[in-house]
Amino acid sequence: MKYETAPAFEELLENTKTYLETNVDLLKLKFVDKTSVVTSSLISIITIAALLLITLMLTGIGVAIWLGKILGEYYYGFYIVAGFLLILIIIVYIFREKLLKKPIANSLIENMYK
């Protein structure tokens, strides 16, 4: 009784090759999916931040002019607004880990593992 192992072995190699190619394609698709999710999240965050920055700048200018008009000299209003923004920057700097780094990192990780 003679066994024909050559055709079975070739079929096994072909199936293994197909399996590996399919896994590589699947990994590529998963990578593209995760990359697109993270990129779109970053773009939306950057867009919202830019619009918020523009809004805050225009509001700050308006408040500074309004305060300056009330106080009699326009530059007083700009000094008051600048002082307020300096205090706000110091507060954000002190709490940057809790306010900025952790939420952004958690958001990115969450988007990667969705």
Does residue 18 sit within a domain? no
Percent of the chain whose predicted confidence (pLDDT) is above 90: 53
Q: How many domains does the chain have?
A: 1
Q: In which domain, by residue range, is 104 found?
A: 34-112
pLDDT bin (cut points 50, 70, 90) of residue 5 is low
| pLDDT tens for each residue of 59-88 | 999 999 999 999 999 999 999 999 999 999
Does residue 76 sit within a domain? yes
Does residue 23 sit within a domain? no
Does residue 28 sit within a domain? no
pLDDT of the residue at 109:
77
In angstroms, the Cα distances linking 94 to 22, 55, 77, 97 are 50, 24, 26, 8
Average pLDDT, the chain: 87
Q: What are phi and psi of 4, to 5 degrees?
A: -100, 95
Does residue 66 sit within a domain? yes
Does residue 74 sit within a domain? yes
pLDDT of the residue at 22:
94
In angstroms, the Cα distances linking 55 to 59, 68, 96 are 6, 20, 22
Does residue 73 sit within a domain? yes
Total-model pTM: 0.61
